[in-house]
Amino acid sequence: MVVRRGSARRVGESRMPEQGVTVGQLLLAEYQSVKDEQKARIGFRDNLLYVTLGVVAAVIAAAAQAKQASMLLALPPVCVVLGWTYLVNDEKITAIGLYVRDELGPRLARLTSGDGDFDTFGWEAYHRTDVRRRTRKLIQALIDLTAFCAVPLAALVVFWAGRDGGGLLVGLSVLEALAVLGLAAQVLLYTRPARPARTPA
């Protein structure tokens, strides 16, 4: 009878995970959650480029209509804020992909096959093997530098050439130039991998 009770207890314990949430289900739920966040951030990040182009066109048109070069000083702070927001979202998008490849995927694979040899979420790694991926990354970096850095610097050059403003505006323009150059350095820094992919233990 003791053996039977022990057996019944073991059978009951084996059924408990079926009534609750398994580790695999939790990992899949987390995967769906981070992928939803990644998708939302991608859409928000890409829209920032269009917002920047719209702001640049509006400020240049207003400055040209009013014939006031000092109005161009509005471009650098706007481009710096939008550019930094763009970079932050881009970093989070990359970090989510890295987390899926290095953490969620291997943990789910160990639950599935027992030894971790089974590949999960293969697309997360497969799309990075494209031979032209590095070229696309460089071109995207040039686009980012142009939209968020080159355009506001050009606006500052036009302001300086027009000599439209007193010492206070000139000083402000110098500070804006430093901020834009700082953003440019960050754009170049973010073109490199933030950290190597580590092998899960």
- Per-residue pLDDT 10s for the chain (201 aa) are 444 444 444 444 434 445 566 888 888 889 899 999 999 999 999 999 999 999 999 999 999 999 888 999 999 999 999 999 999 999 999 999 889 888 888 888 887 765 555 567 777 766 677 778 788 888 999 999 999 999 999 999 999 998 777 789 999 999 999 999 999 999 999 887 655 545 444
How many CB atoms are closer than 10 A to CB 83?
25
**Domain segments of the chain as ranges:** 22-190
End-to-end CA distance of the chain: 44
Which two structure tokens, joined as six digits, stand for 98? 């890295």
Q: Cβ contacts of residue 44 below 8 Å, gap of 6+?
A: 89
Q: Is the pTM of this model over 0.95?
A: no
Per-residue buried b or exposed e for 59-81, using 16+ beta carbons within 10 Å of the residue's own CB: bbeebeeeeebbbbbbbbebbbe
